[in-house]
Amino acid sequence: MAHPSQLGFQDAASPVMEELLHFHDHALMIVFLISALVLYIIVAMVSTKLTNMFILDSQEIEIIWTVLPAFVLILIALPSLRILYLMDEINSPHLTIKAVGHQWYWSYEYTDYQEIGFDSYMVPTNDLTPGHFRLLEVDHRMVVPAESPVRILITAEDVLHSWAVPSLAVKMDAVPGRLNQTAFIANRPGVYYGQCSEICGANHSFMPIVVEAVPMKYFQDWSALMLEDA
């Protein structure tokens, strides 16, 4: 999760997020190189009184400063499109969960199990236990198996919401009357935090998302326990 004064992204917990981090570094290096070149040209033009007639009117220079930016854009666009298609790829998910946004909490339905479904409310500050995070902890976490593709079906009951977990590279709008879908794979067991990312009313800041990824054996035990309690 994010830390105070953190400048970069959260640690990647899914393959898509790792790709996004690599693309961010790739694009940032291109931006740094362009900025350095532009700064050098500005300083050179301001600090020197020399002029060159071949630079003032040159077809070759015009060709270069037209072709070079186009080449740079291609270097950015190709990996960007690749990641865009990877984010839309959903191949044989092992588990499907329906997330429904309400004012102001989330409810989850495990569609592969008829009896597993629950509401997830934020834990009030006065009820927090040591180790829990204020405004981020919930009373019922969404439990998923680690290293398994999970499909999330996202909708809303009342107003627009957005189901977002940054470390898993997941952000999808929850629209009333519409069923959106996305998918992720948690690389390792852990607890991953997110929040509603669409302004949805007075308590928009108080409907966090907590995804707990556990090994498959523990997920089977948890699902069996939930079926017994249903």
Mean pLDDT of each 10-residue bin along the chain, 230 residues long: 82 93 95 95 84 72 89 94 89 92 94 89 92 92 94 94 94 94 94 93 93 94 86
Q: Which residue has the tokens 């009896």?
A: 115
Domain harbouring 47, CATH code: 1.10.287.90
Burial class (CB in 10 A: 0-12, 13-18, 19+), 144: buried
- The answer on 184 and 73 residing in a single domain is no
Q: What are phi and psi of 54, to 5 degrees?
A: -75, -25
What does the pLDDT read at residue 8?
85
Looking at the domain assignment, is residue 137 inside a domain? yes
> What pLDDT is attached to residue 55?
67
Q: Provide the whole-model pTM.
A: 0.85
Give residue 227's pLDDT: 87
- 119 and 213 together in one domain: yes
| Residue 3 covered by a domain | no
User: What pLDDT is recorded for position 114?
Assistant: 80
Instruction: List the helix and strand counts (H, then E) for the chain.
Output: 4, 10
- CATH assignment at residue 131: 2.60.40.420
Residues 46 and 116 in one domain: no
- Using CA atoms, how far apart are residues 87 and 195, in angstroms rounded to an integer? 20
Question: Which runs of E-coded beta strand occur in the chain?
Answer: 95-102, 105-110, 117-120, 142-145, 149-156, 161-165, 170-174, 180-185, 190-196, 208-214
70 and 116 both lie in a single domain: no
pLDDT in the model for residue 230: 64
Question: If you search the block for the tokens 């077809």, which residue do you land on?
Answer: 59
Is residue 174 within 8 Å of residue 100, measured between CB atoms? yes
DSSP type of residue 153: E
